[in-house]
Chain A
Amino acid sequence: MKKEERERRGETRSSRAAAPSLASTLLCLCWMGAGASAPAQTPLAKQELTVLQGGTVHVGNGDVIEGGTVILKGSHLDAIGKALAVPEGAHVVDVTGRHVYPGLIDAESGVLLDVDATGTGEGQPAASIVDAIDPFQKDERKLAWSGGVTTIYVAPHRGLLDGSGAVLKLRPARAIDDLVLKRDFAVTATLGANVDRPTTRLREWKMLLDRLAATKKYMEAWDDYEEKLADYKKELEKQKKEGNTKIDKKEEGPKPPTPPEQRPEERPQGPDGPGPGGRPRRPRRPPSGSLLPYLFPDSASVPPLHLDGDGDGDEPEGDGHDCTKEPPRLSWKDGVSYAEDGGAPAGGEKKEDAKKPPRPPRDAQTETLRKVLEGKLTLRVQLSHAADLQNVLDLRQLYPIDVVLTGGTDAWKFASVLASSEIPVVYALAADAAPDVAAVPAKLAAAHVDFALTADDPGATSTRFLALVAAVAVAGGLDREAALAAITSVPARQLGVGDRVGTLEAGKDADVVVTRGELFSSSVVFEQVYVDGKPVLAR
């Protein structure tokens, strides 16, 4: 704040002094700008080792070290403890009388997000929030640092089932990927009245359950397909061994011009002759299922084939994003055994007339939900009513999914259930909460619920006041170190980045906050903030 004020005053001075000349004014402003941003970077950036000495070190897991030392080595924490030896060549910063905290983590933030970009309407689970991040929003990053926040979770919020969220490290970066700690971490389901779609909770739950039921069916269809495919291939092997090379009488496609010695990656791309019945056919892979044994007698040695982009018109539908990264449940064998569209139904055939089973349609949105049902993606359920909470518990009975509750005003009513069923909570607390609401985190803690704290405010600006929100929980009876954990180590663990951030422990990222005054005091001043060992804020 003060620094900004200085900058602003300096700017005013300079423009006044330089008026009315364009050139000198501009030059002066440029110089001011450079002068303001440079010192934060250069002097310490050269220091491989930074030692913060003499502060009250709050580790973030409940431990407090009075007069402790924190050693930052490169981008990581080297050592934390009392009376540690100062390594040679280290840049020593005296933080006596100051408090040292791990970089705070906002478990639900709007920083760097374009509000419009995150609205996905009825829900597009296949979308990723990473595509809605604006890495050039430098001011928002600075604001977050000015409140000691260095890591955030961002997710779309408007649809019933939204795209997946991501964990971001707020570091000086120009590209989105530099910010992402973990992408595709969870899918958000938003329930309750505070979303702008015309619907009722009744209908919302029906829609959600229908989506999940459809996903289940989809999964079963694919499982069934794969099972049959395996049978089919086994049959092929068997027939091959028996010397019966005529596998599918109905497959009359001509032999591909591919010579046997051709490399797999040089497989034919274009039209290869008339199709069945002499009609010209669109580019299509030959009925490779039947030719496979000829082409690649030793199928185990065949390198995996890329699923997409082979121009065969058989790519799965949807955006293909997930499929590209991690072809779900498809081995290369599937790739080369695509059936003709509308191929003969599987089953009921004699073994001599073995048929490839028909391939079910692929859907990117459902693929994402499939990951949820398989436990690969967490389902973050944002809700506001206790009744919804009951529905979530029911849902968890129905499907073995990982659920995190966000929002959760009424969560304390179910505190013991949440604790016993090990459902983590991201509790959204209003900074102006009435005393009974402010007491909820304390109740959750008393019931041993695993909870993180965030602001009950969707805006980007609320992130920098995360400590104030935790302070309200302290007023409600929450232990101070537990409140600190709820904005550091707990969200780190919940977000699957507990090995990197969230506490001041050796080996973790050097995200460190030094304050004058205690974190939960209103008059706290965030003096220094380090991200990956680099000072990003100093006053």
Chain B
Amino acid sequence: MLALSLAVALAGPPAPAAAGCPAAQGGTLAIKVEKIVQPDGKLGAGGWIVVKGGRLEAVAAKEAPANAALLEFEHGVAAPGFIDPATALGATGEVAEPARAFTPEVQASDAFDAEHSEFKKAAAGGITTVGLSPSSSNVVGGRIAIVRTSGEQGIAVLSGPGPLRFALTGAAFDGERAPTSRMGALPQLREMLAGKKLEAPGPCLVDAATADEIRIALETFEGAGKQVALLHPNGFADADDLLDDVLKKGAVFAVVGPFNLSARERELALPTKLADRGVAVAFTAGGNAAKLRLTAALAVRSGFATDRALQALTTVPARVLGLDDCGSLEAGKRADLVVYDGDPLDLASTIRLVVVGGAPQEHAVPAGAAPAKEKS
């Protein structure tokens, strides 16, 4: 699994105690960086990050433990591994089950393909956890599986019931099956939400695109005492004047993205608008690391605060998925971290090291483009 020697090689100055002492085998790994992304999304002072037994033992320590394998990054910036809450990673076309509109029993973990290369690519790009989610083709789509893109035991699905995925967009009513309309679906949905069947950790992830879909989603789920994470709520982009009114209904999370270079101004301004109104924003890009970083970069270029952007890639998606052991670099949390050679939000920064569940990963910087950069 581990390629510590490679990681050391990339780190520049060879670490003396590295050989034969992989952290994955119970040893201790210490990584020195210049800056560390704090849980509040700000860049804080660096130091040694100590990894042991797949967990973070210490963050920003002054000194490395005596017996640890050492990795030093001169201009390194350590960030928590990114989390993409709604992907179809490794299961494109396998997570859309259109036979029935209400499929709460369906579990995306059954579509999980541990050998799929997309997970490795995501890990190499700095995404350490993804939500493998049923598609938007059902009103109640089923359980989202939480997948670690790598780790000591390999790519794995977290056990236990995952969060639920819902949809109130057109795709959920498309096809030859009952109900064919939102009007027909809502009574059944309310009944289900009132029952015990739909208990889940974290908020309900609900696809709602237009302004009124957002309104009815918030109304319906709030009525049942559930928290909502709105997925792709682009309707807000066109309904500025009603944003406050609708959000009073209790939107807590919004999952937005991906953005590309063709995105409209209003779309790119959406994260800021939502965050200004107290909604915690998470980014998604279908598990594609480059697209996820571009999404964050475009939001930042359009005025989204950098601390919010970093949270939107780490702590917020962790909360959306109901996870409390990842998303931030704090002692005791899972050792999912990425070392960049600059600000993680800058597209000019390169990944120097990815650690998933305590295991340093071989990453995908092509040999031809050896990071021979010198920062001024």
Residues of A participating in the B interface, judged by any CB pair closer than 8 Å:
1-2, 4-5, 12, 64, 143, 431-436, 438-439, 442-443, 455, 457, 459, 461-462, 465, 468, 471-472, 474-477, 479-480, 520-524
> Among B264, B343, B365, B376, which residue has its beta carbon within 8 angstroms of that of A435?
B365
> Among A5, A434, A461, A524, which residue has its beta carbon within 8 angstroms of that of B290?
A434
Which residues, 288 to 325 on B, are CB-close (under 8 Å) to A?
288, 290-291, 293-294, 296-298, 300-303, 306, 309
Residues of B with C-beta under 8 A to A4: 265
Query: 1/0 per residue B169-204: CB within 8 Å of A?
Result: 000000000000000000000000000000000000
Most buried by A among B125, B261, B293, B365: B261
Residues of B with C-beta under 8 A to A472: 347-348
> Among B261, B269, B348, B366, which residue has its beta carbon within 8 angstroms of that of A474?
B348
Q: A468 touching B350 by the CB < 8 A rule?
A: no
Q: B373 touching A523 by the CB < 8 A rule?
A: no
Most buried by B among A433, A439, A459, A522: A522
- Let me know if B159 is at the binding interface, CB within 8 A: no
- Let me know if B71 is at the binding interface, CB within 8 A: no
Residues of B with C-beta under 8 A to A439: 365-366, 368-369
Given A457-B260, A459-B261, A475-B350, CB of A522 within 8 Å of CB of B369: no
Separation in Å of the A179 CB from the closest CB of chain B? 23
Closest B residue, CB atoms, query A519? B348
Closest A residue, CB atoms, query B301? A522
Residues of B with C-beta under 8 A to A433: 290
Q: A523 touching B300 by the CB < 8 A rule?
A: yes
Q: How far is the CA of A4 from the CA of B273 in the complex (A)?
A: 14
Q: A462 touching B262 by the CB < 8 A rule?
A: yes
- Let me know if B349 is at the binding interface, CB within 8 A: yes
Q: How far is the CA of A457 from the CA of B260 in the complex (A)?
A: 9
Closest A residue, CB atoms, query B306? A523
Q: How far is the CA of A4 from the CA of B261 in the complex (A)?
A: 19
Q: A435 touching B364 by the CB < 8 A rule?
A: yes
Q: How far is the CA of A108 from the CA of B370 in the complex (A)?
A: 29
Q: A521 touching B269 by the CB < 8 A rule?
A: no
Given A1-B269, A435-B365, A439-B368, CB of A520 within 8 Å of CB of B290: no
- Let me know if B158 is at the binding interface, CB within 8 A: no
List 16 A-B pairs, Cβ < 8 Å: A1-B269, A2-B303, A432-B293, A433-B290, A435-B124, A435-B290, A442-B369, A455-B261, A461-B261, A471-B346, A472-B347, A474-B348, A477-B369, A522-B347, A523-B345, A524-B301
Q: A475 touching B349 by the CB < 8 A rule?
A: yes
* Nearest 9 interchain pairs by C-beta: A439-B369, A477-B369, A462-B261, A474-B348, A522-B297, A471-B348, A471-B347, A520-B348, A432-B290
- Let me know if B66 is at the binding interface, CB within 8 A: no
Q: How far is the CA of A265 from the CA of B162 in the complex (A)?
A: 89
Q: How far is the CA of A443 from the CA of B369 in the complex (A)?
A: 7
> Among A12, A436, A459, A475, which residue has its beta carbon within 8 angstroms of that of B347?
A475
Q: How far is the CA of A523 from the CA of B344 in the complex (A)?
A: 11
Residues of A with C-beta under 8 A to B364: 434-436
Residues of B with C-beta under 8 A to A524: 301
Residues of B with C-beta under 8 A to A435: 124-125, 290, 364-366, 369
Q: A520 touching B262 by the CB < 8 A rule?
A: no
Separation in Å of the B166 CB from the closest CB of chain A? 28
Closest A residue, CB atoms, query B305? A523
Residues of B with C-beta under 8 A to A1: 269, 302-303
Residues of B participating in the A interface, judged by any CB pair closer than 8 Å:
121, 124-125, 241, 260-265, 269, 288, 290-291, 293-294, 296-298, 300-303, 306, 309, 343, 345-350, 364-366, 368-373, 376
Q: B261 touching A431 by the CB < 8 A rule?
A: yes
Residues of A with C-beta under 8 A to B370: 477
Closest B residue, CB atoms, query A467? B301
Q: A468 touching B302 by the CB < 8 A rule?
A: no
Q: A465 touching B261 by the CB < 8 A rule?
A: yes
Residues of B with C-beta under 8 A to A2: 303
Most buried by A among B241, B345, B366: B366
Closest B residue, CB atoms, query A521? B346
Q: How far is the CA of A113 from the CA of B262 in the complex (A)?
A: 15
Residues of B with C-beta under 8 A to A475: 347-350
Q: How far is the CA of A431 from the CA of B259 in the complex (A)?
A: 11
Q: A442 touching B348 by the CB < 8 A rule?
A: no
Q: How far is the CA of A477 from the CA of B373 in the complex (A)?
A: 6
Residues of A with C-beta under 8 A to B264: 461
Q: How far is the CA of A522 from the CA of B263 in the complex (A)?
A: 16
Separation in Å of the A177 CB from the closest CB of chain B? 29
Q: B261 touching A457 by the CB < 8 A rule?
A: yes
Closest A residue, CB atoms, query B372? A477
Separation in Å of the A145 CB from the closest CB of chain B? 14
Q: How far is the CA of A475 from the CA of B291 in the complex (A)?
A: 14
Separation in Å of the A452 CB from the closest CB of chain B? 17
Separation in Å of the B6 CB from the closest CB of chain A? 15
Residues of A with C-beta under 8 A to B263: 461
Residues of B with C-beta under 8 A to A476: 369
Q: How far is the CA of A436 from the CA of B124 in the complex (A)?
A: 12
Closest A residue, CB atoms, query B374? A479
Q: B269 touching A432 by the CB < 8 A rule?
A: no
Closest B residue, CB atoms, query A459? B262
Closest B residue, CB atoms, query A66? B376
> Among A432, A438, A459, which residue has its beta carbon within 8 angstroms of that of B288?
A432
Q: How far is the CA of A29 from the CA of B283 in the complex (A)?
A: 36
> Among A462, A471, A479, which residue has its beta carbon within 8 angstroms of that of B373?
A479
Residues of B with C-beta under 8 A to A459: 261-262
Q: How far is the CA of A312 from the CA of B300 in the complex (A)?
A: 65
Residues of A with C-beta under 8 A to B298: 465, 468
Q: How far is the CA of A474 from the CA of B345 in the complex (A)?
A: 14
Q: How far is the CA of A455 from the CA of B290 in the complex (A)?
A: 15
Residues of B with C-beta under 8 A to A479: 373
Residues of B with C-beta under 8 A to A480: 348, 373, 376
Q: How far is the CA of A154 from the CA of B7 in the complex (A)?
A: 45
Separation in Å of the B122 CB from the closest CB of chain A? 11
Separation in Å of the A523 CB from the closest CB of chain B? 5
Q: A522 touching B296 by the CB < 8 A rule?
A: yes
Most buried by A among B296, B345, B346, B348: B348
Q: B347 touching A520 by the CB < 8 A rule?
A: yes
Q: How far is the CA of A155 from the CA of B76 in the complex (A)?
A: 43
Q: How far is the CA of A520 from the CA of B290 in the complex (A)?
A: 16
Most buried by A among B124, B298, B346, B371: B346
Q: How far is the CA of A48 from the CA of B370 in the complex (A)?
A: 48
Q: B294 touching A432 by the CB < 8 A rule?
A: yes
Q: B260 touching A521 by the CB < 8 A rule?
A: no
> Among A436, A465, A520, which residue has its beta carbon within 8 angstroms of that of B346?
A520
Q: How far is the CA of A442 from the CA of B368 in the complex (A)?
A: 8
Most buried by A among B263, B343, B373: B373
Separation in Å of the B270 CB from the closest CB of chain A? 13
Q: How far is the CA of A443 from the CA of B301 in the complex (A)?
A: 28
Closest B residue, CB atoms, query A441? B369
Q: A443 touching B291 by the CB < 8 A rule?
A: no
Q: How far is the CA of A143 from the CA of B268 in the complex (A)?
A: 13
Q: A432 touching B348 by the CB < 8 A rule?
A: no
